[in-house]
Amino acid sequence: MTDRKQKKLKKLVVCLSFILVTLVVIVVMRVNDPQNGQIVSLLTMDSNKNFSPVVPGYEIKFPKDYGVHPGFRHEWWYVTANVRDQEGNEYGIQWTVFRFATEPQQKSGWFSNQIFMAHTVVTTDSNTYAFERFGRGGIGQAGVSRSPYSVWLDNWQWQAESEEPFPAILSAEENQTGFELALRQTMEPVMQGKQGFSRKHPKENLASYYFSVPQISIEGKLKIDGVVRDVSGKGWLDREWGSSTLSAEQSGWDWFSVHLDDGSSLMVYQLRGEQSDFRFASLTDKLGVTTLIDNDAISIEPTEKFQVKNDKQLPLIWTINLKEQNQTYIVQPLNKNNWLDFALPYWEGPISVSGSQKGKGFMELTGY
């Protein structure tokens, strides 16, 4: 066999091996595990073998940390948006790219060990349009570039004008449904936890690096079933990376992001455990001053469950109480049927908030 044929065969073997690994990951995650849930098993401490650890004291820097962190096992770029059209109809938009490493050693080209997964979701009050794609790093199909800044999987893209992530165009389309949105940052990033060190368990050494951009101005085009309309509203970005985020005794999490009517931004996070739940939150006023709220100062209670796809009962109406701020919020979904039956299934969709004041945002429920 000639050297040229040997090189081609080697590339083919590597490509097939990557496909096999990806399929194995998907199949394993689809196994019915009612105790831990599919998405959770990717993020537990038992799976962090020799990846970079998350430790206190790391200084998150911009724009560098909008980029990729290949030494860590997983990370995501998570954009959600609440928008309206010119007739006042409400929509929710989700655009997410996940990166997972199959091993700590970094490899390039066809030998890359980076798996990318992307989700785009458009929600109306009566329908949910959800799409999923997989790709691999190293060959240009999916990745993150620094100058100009870009995050992409195929033609689902976050494309900035320079090495700064904003302003940018966020786009995706599939089956005559998609969007092209102009993103403009209107508030500085918020560190979720001290310097972005976000603890995920009250006792165990589990954490991620986590920051948000809670105020993003959005204008652009939204296409649904081939019909294009102009939309505008507000968006939220979450950037999070780590190597083990959850304990084996934690079953999943409940996450809320809210744009309140007074211009402030609220994030609430609850990790559900067998022995106890662990909560944290941040409340950022319209001037960008953030208050971090600890577990004991937050009450999160599900008040009503609903039947969703796959015969699941999920809590979709919640009451959130910020005790020290003397604020109470009632959370309700725009569309209850937002169970996203992806390879890693979860519920996520737009919400409205009432109580101490009104607001719009997003809710994510995993591990159910």
Over residues 249-258, the pLDDT tens digits come to: 999 999 999 9
Nearest to 323 by CA among 302, 298, 343: 298
Q: For residue range 239-252, list pLDDT tens digits in order.
A: 999 998 788 899 99
CA angle 70, 73, 77 (to 5 degrees): 70
More confident site: 153 or 6: 153
Q: Is the pLDDT of residue 13 over 90?
A: no
At residue 24, the pLDDT reads 40
Tens-digit pLDDT profile for residues 342-359: 999 999 999 999 999 999
- pLDDT, position 3: 55
Q: Distances in Å between the alpha carbon of 341 and those of 69, 77, 119, 121, 131? A: 28, 20, 11, 12, 10
C-alpha to C-alpha distance for 226 and 67, rounded to whole angstroms: 33
Predicted confidence (pLDDT) per residue in 296-336, tens digit: 999 999 999 999 976 789 999 999 999 999 999 999 999 99
Q: What integer pLDDT is reported at residue 240 of this predicted model? A: 98
pTM of the model: 0.89
Q: Is the backbone peptide bond immediately before 214 cis, with ω within 30 degrees of 0?
A: no
- Residue 204: CATH number of its domain: 2.40.370.10
Percent of the chain exceeding pLDDT 90 equals 78
- How many domains are contained in the chain? 1
pLDDT averaged over the chain?
89
Write out the residue range of the structural domain in which residue 350 sits: 3-365
Kindly tell me if the per-residue pLDDT of 41 is higher than 80: no
pLDDT of residue 5 exceeding 70: no
The pLDDT value recorded for residue 109 is: 80
For the chain, give the secondary structure using H, E and C.
CCHHHHHHHHHHHHHHHHHHHHHHHHHHHHCCCCCCCHHHHCCEHHHCCCCCCCCCCCCCCCCHHHCCCCCCCEEEEEEEEEEEECCCCEEEEEEEEEEEECCCCCCCHHHCCEEEEEEEEEECCCCEEEEEEEEECCCCCEEEEECCEEEEECCEEEEECCCCCCCEEEEEEECCEEEEEEEEECCCCEECCECCEEECCCCCCCEEEEEEEEEEEEEEEEEECCEEEEEEEEEEEEEEEECCCECCCEEEEEEEEEEECCCCEEEEEEEEECCCCEEEEEEECCCCCEEEECHHHEEEEEEEEEEEHHHEEEEEEEEEEECCCCEEEEEEECCCCCEECCCCCEEEEEEEEEECCCEEEEEEECCC
